[in-house]
């Protein structure tokens, strides 16, 4: 099975003074189409505003840097949620929910979007529907239809619908007010991966926070799980695979390291250096392992199931520790002495292995 798994960086789709929207194309990263996964980033400069949109795909949004405000309107809700967001925050956004994003601060705000495009118009790409601007939905309706829908004169409709010159992202003027965020609107919708309890914490090895239906109930609605992994300098992440037929979509947040992926018939399908800003996808049941460079490595991943289960092939929790000695000895066609040596290793380390 020949496939291109090489990590890729995104390309700008549109933007302006207020910021930019970049995305990964399945033409460049074919596994996006195979896995029906979309991936994009939103960058907002100071006072940058991403106008209301909805998408044909459910997503997990992860704040890579900065802080700002997100507006979220749930279908048939009478009032939007206005959520303060900051670096490390993760939100699950079901398809059809209207969102807007605003950066009131001096430093940039960058948000990563990873999601499921299997129900979308274009497998491997998000299709976002803008409510305003030159590409807004209502530019396609005749003035008569919009006038009837909004109970406005056609003259007023023209002023509203055709008054924006920028597509999607604009820079708001100083002094232009925006809604204040509500702390209670974060409840049940946001988890901060830097503040949440660690699911795994190995001294000198690394740590992980897993997002699932227990700590972020909305991932059940989007059908995705996610995690943030921080691997210490020189440490290794155990070879392992998703045992529930899920794809792993990984974005390197910062740092760098090496990755190997092995697939069908023991063929190594990827061996490369990875660094901040790159994205790659591990096919279903393929085994992946990573080793961080001296400065360490951090990555954010989604898994195409809301409650992922992994099997590891090294360490205290690996399948080797569960398999009986006789089976190991027969499978490896080795001596009992070497089998005992093999079993005696990695009895306390789980998932992350510190450098020697």
Tens digits of residue pLDDT in 231-287:
999 999 999 999 888 899 999 999 999 999 999 999 999 999 999 999 999 999 999
Greater confidence (290 vs 350) lies with 290
Tens digits of residue pLDDT in 286-322:
999 999 999 999 999 999 888 888 899 999 989 999 9
Average of per-residue pLDDT values in the chain: 94
Rg (CA), the chain: 23
Q: Label each residue of the chain as H, E or C.
A: CCCCCCCECCEEEEEECCEEEEECCCCCCCHHHHHCEEEEEEEECCCEEEEEEEECCEEEEEEEECEEEEEEECCCCCCCEEEEEECCEEEEECCCCEEEEECCCCCCEEEEEEEECCCCCECCECCEEECCCCCCHHHCCCHHHHHHHHCCCHHHHHHHHCCCCCCCEEECCCCCCCCCCCHHHHCCCEEECCCCCCCEEECCCEEEEEECCCCCCCHHHHCCEEEEEEECCCCEEEEEEECCCCCEEEEEEEEEEEEEEECHHHCEEEEEEEECCCEEEECCCCEEEEEEEEEEEEEEEEECCCCCCEEECCCCCCHHHHCCHHHHHHHHCCCHHHHHHHHHCCCCCCCEECCC
CA distance 150 to 344: 73
Both tokens assigned to 346: 């990695």
- Residues, the chain: 356
CA distance 256 to 233: 9
Q: Would you say residue 2 has pLDDT above 80?
A: no
CA distance 118 to 235: 35
Tell me the mean pLDDT in the region 205-223.
Answer: 92
**Which domains does the chain possess?**
11-132+168-186 (2.60.120.10), 195-310 (2.60.120.10)
Tens digits of residue pLDDT in 6-38:
999 999 999 989 999 999 999 999 999 999 999
Which pLDDT score is estimated for 298? 98
Which pLDDT score is estimated for 306? 85
Which pLDDT score is estimated for 212? 86
Which pLDDT score is estimated for 220? 87
CA distance 218 to 214: 9
Both tokens assigned to 353: 């292995």
Tens digits of residue pLDDT in 140-192:
999 999 999 999 999 999 999 998 888 889 999 999 999 999 999 999 999 99
Which pLDDT score is estimated for 339? 93
Both tokens assigned to 133: 């601007």
CA distance 38 to 334: 46
Q: pTM (2 decimals)? A: 0.94
- The percent of residues above 70 in pLDDT, for the chain, comes to 99
Q: Would you say residue 114 has pLDDT above 80?
A: yes
Burial (Cβ within 10 Å: 0-12, 13-18, ≥19) of residue 269: middle
pLDDT classification of 348: cutoffs 50, 70, 90: confident
Q: Phi, psi (5° rounding) for residue 112?
A: -95, 140
CA distance 95 to 87: 23
Q: Phi, psi (5° rounding) for residue 106?
A: -75, -35
CA distance 134 to 130: 9
Tens digits of residue pLDDT in 116-125:
999 999 999 9
CA dihedral 138, 141, 143, 145 (to 10 degrees): -110
CA distance 83 to 184: 8
**Residue owning tokens 């080795």:** 334
- The percent of residues above 90 in pLDDT, for the chain, comes to 87
Which pLDDT score is estimated for 1? 52
CA dihedral 152, 155, 161, 162 (to 10 degrees): -170
By the 8 A CB rule, do 251 and 299 touch? yes
Q: Would you say residue 82 has pLDDT above 90?
A: yes
């Amino acid at each position: 099975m020949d496939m291109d798994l090489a990590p890729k960086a995104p390309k700008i789709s549109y933007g302006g003074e207020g910021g930019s929207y970049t995305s990964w194309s399945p033409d460049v990263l074919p596994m996006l189409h195979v896995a029906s996964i979309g991936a994009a980033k939103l960058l907002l400069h100071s006072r940058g505003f991403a106008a209301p949109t909805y998408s044909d795909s459910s997503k997990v949004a992860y704040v890579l840097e900065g802080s700002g405000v997100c507006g979220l309107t749930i279908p048939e809700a009478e009032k939007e949620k206005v959520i303060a967001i900051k670096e490390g925050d993760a939100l699950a956004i079901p398809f059809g929910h209207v969102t807007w994003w605003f950066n009131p601060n001096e430093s940039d705000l960058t948000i990563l979007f990873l999601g499921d495009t299997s129900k979308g118009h274009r497998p491997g790409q998000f299709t976002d529907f803008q409510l305003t601007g030159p590409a807004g939905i209502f530019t396609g309706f005749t003035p008569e239809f919009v006038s009837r829908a909004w109970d406005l004169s056609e003259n007023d409709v023209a002023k509203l619908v055709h008054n924006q010159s920028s597509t999607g992202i604009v820079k708001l003027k100083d002094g232009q007010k925006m809604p204040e965020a509500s702390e209670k609107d974060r409840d049940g919708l946001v988890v901060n991966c830097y503040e949440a309890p660690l699911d795994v914490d190995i001294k000198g090895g690394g740590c992980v926070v897993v997002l699932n239906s227990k700590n972020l109930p909305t991932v059940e609605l989007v059908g995705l799980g996610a995690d943030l992994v921080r691997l210490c300098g020189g440490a290794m992440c155990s070879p392992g695979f998703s045992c529930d037929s899920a794809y792993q979509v990984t974005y390197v947040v910062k740092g760098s390291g090496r990755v190997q992926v092995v697939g069908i018939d023991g063929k190594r399908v990827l061996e490369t250096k990875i660094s901040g800003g790159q994205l790659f996808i591990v096919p279903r049941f393929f085994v992946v392992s990573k080793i961080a460079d001296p400065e360490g490595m951090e990555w954010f991943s989604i898994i195409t199931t809301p409650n992922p289960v992994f099997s590891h092939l090294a360490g205290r929790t690996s399948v080797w520790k569960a398999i009986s000695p006789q089976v190991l000895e027969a499978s490896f066609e080795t001596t009992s002495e070497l089998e005992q040596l093999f079993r005696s290793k990695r009895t306390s380390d789980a998932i992350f292995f510190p450098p020697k």
